[in-house]
Amino acid sequence: MPRMTFPFGPQHPVLPEAIQLKLTVEDERVVEVLPAIGYMHRGIEKAAERNPYINNVFLCERICGICSFIHGMAYCQTIEEIMKVEVPPRAKYLRVMWSELSRLHSHLLWLGLLADSFGFESLFMQCWRAREIVLDMLEMTTGQRVIQSTCVIGGVRRDIDADQAARLREMLKTLKPQIDAVIPVFKHDYTIKSRTVGRGVLPKDQAWTLGAVGPTLRGSGGTWDARSTGYAAYGELEFEPVVETDGDSYARTMVRVRETYQAYELVLKALDRLPEGETRVKVKGSPNGEAVMRVEQPRGELFYYALGNGTVRLERLKVRTPTFANIPALLTMLPGCEIADVPVIVLSIDPCMSCTER
């Protein structure tokens, strides 16, 4: 059968960011995939070596808008590890609260994009309407809807008072029915299940071998979630990873659906158990040494490495993002699928190319 090769991307209605996949097909079936990346490279790691290390918090937050807070937190925790800084308990709980609000924001955004890929425009708008409530909560507590800039080395720069905590609980009560209204469609709708069940299957052994992370790994039965290490205040919140076993696009969707509810509960737990006290400690000196930090983004494990030389500028900063880890797994999911399945399978790993290329 004759073969044909054509590009999928970098501009495509279903792609939120620029990535190109060169698809080789026989008739309507994909037989080979070759990625082309590099459209969004910004030289952030090199820039981080030229800045005073304190300023890099703001730089790292701009690696990704959706995961902005978690990038900033990962960088701060890496420097805190090198400098042996103990963050106040209240700051740890606030970091969890903002991290899980970011996860809610990301998963609702992704569910809307998935609905849009099926042509379900009304469902797309309902998901994003629920997401607006999360953005309002972030704006109320941090002053910003997307780039929060509340993490600092030594804690957090903002606190919440009793009135804000009460308002957050009210807004969460408003959010819950809106989530409940859209989730059954993703679980039970015939069209969605026909486009996701059995499509883009990634067996558990392949997921481990290829280094998949996040919902891509946990949708295939893997149990690793960086939050299980107990960083920030996760070790005090009875956290359990969300796992599905079928390894297809539907399983990855269900992981994110269940994590949406889990993030909702974690925000409430963090509010209920928020300790009194300071929110930051003063940090003096410069980092001298190296450290590795692993945190859990909505897309999976985020890996930071920093090397300090005792000056105000780092010797090296290295970031490994979850999409970078999940691209090899994506390339094994696509061969054998039909051309019409490609957009949904690509979306099922929730690709973030601005994170990947930096």
CA distance 290 to 156: 22
Residues annotated as binding site for Fe cation? 67, 355
pLDDT at residue number 45: 85
H helix or E strand, kind and range, residue 74: helix 68-83
Q: How many domains does the chain have?
A: 2
Let me know whether 92 and 192 are in one domain: yes
CA distance 241 to 222: 10
Domain hosting 23: range is 1-41
The CATH number of the domain holding residue 200 is 1.10.645.10
Residue 144 domain flag: yes
Q: For the residues 206-235, what does the mean pLDDT come to?
A: 91
H helix or E strand, kind and range, residue 215: helix 214-218
pLDDT at residue number 227: 92
pLDDT at residue number 294: 94
Residue 212 domain flag: yes
Q: Residue 204: pLDDT above 80?
A: yes
**Helix, strand, or coil (residue 309):** strand
Residue-wise pLDDT tens digits, 48-64: 889 899 999 999 888 88
Amino acid letter for position 299 = R
Let me know whether 17 and 146 are in one domain: no
Going by pLDDT thresholds of 50, 70 and 90, the confidence category of residue 13 is low
In degrees and rounded to multiples of 5, residue 32 shows phi and psi of -155, 145
Number of C-beta neighbours around residue 299 at 10 A: 30
Let me know whether 27 and 51 are in one domain: no
CA distance 341 to 329: 16
Residue 355 domain flag: no
Q: For the residues 153-159, what does the mean pLDDT come to?
A: 91
Let me know whether 120 and 207 are in one domain: yes
Residues annotated as binding site? 45, 64, 67, 319, 352, 355
Let me know whether 334 and 243 are in one domain: yes
Let me know whether 17 and 75 are in one domain: no
pLDDT at residue number 327: 87
Q: Identify the CA nearest to 280 among candidates 53, 110, 54.
A: 54
Going by pLDDT thresholds of 50, 70 and 90, the confidence category of residue 16 is low
**Helix, strand, or coil (residue 292):** strand
Q: For the residues 217-242, what does the mean pLDDT come to?
A: 91
CA distance 286 to 52: 9
Let me know whether 103 and 2 are in one domain: no
**Helix, strand, or coil (residue 114):** helix
Residue 49 domain flag: yes
Q: For the residues 59-81, what does the mean pLDDT come to?
A: 90
Q: Is the pTM of this model over 0.85?
A: yes
Four-point Cα dihedral 199, 38, 63, 321, nearest 10: 50
- Are 283 and 154 within 8 A, CB to CB? yes
Percentage of the chain with pLDDT > 70?
97
CA distance 68 to 138: 12
Q: Identify the CA nearest to 72 among candidates 39, 94, 42, 50.
A: 94
Tokens of 75: 């960088």
Residue 356 domain flag: no
Mean predicted lDDT score pLDDT of the chain: 89
CA distance 35 to 16: 16
pLDDT at residue number 111: 92
Cis upstream peptide for 16 (omega within 30°): no
Q: For the residues 137-162, what does the mean pLDDT come to?
A: 90
Let me know whether 22 and 123 are in one domain: no
Let me know whether 35 and 66 are in one domain: no
Going by pLDDT thresholds of 50, 70 and 90, the confidence category of residue 1 is low
Let me know whether 181 and 282 are in one domain: yes
Residues annotated as binding site for Mg(2+)? 45, 319
- Are 227 and 239 within 8 A, CB to CB? yes
Let me know whether 5 and 140 are in one domain: no
Q: Identify the CA nearest to 248 among candidates 221, 276, 226, 224.
A: 221
pLDDT at residue number 5: 80
Residue 251, CA distances (Å) to 16, 60, 204, 307, 358 in order: 22, 31, 12, 38, 29
Residues annotated as binding site for Ni(2+)? 64, 67, 352
CA distance 19 to 357: 10
User: How many residues in total does the chain contain?
Assistant: 358
Q: Residue 29: pLDDT above 70?
A: yes
Q: Residue 323: pLDDT above 90?
A: no
Q: Residue 169: pLDDT above 90?
A: yes
Tokens of 287: 């980092």
Residue-wise pLDDT tens digits, 235-259: 899 889 999 999 899 999 999 999 9
Let me know whether 116 and 12 are in one domain: no
pLDDT at residue number 339: 82
Residue 89 domain flag: yes
Residue 358 domain flag: no
pLDDT at residue number 12: 66
Residue 354 domain flag: no
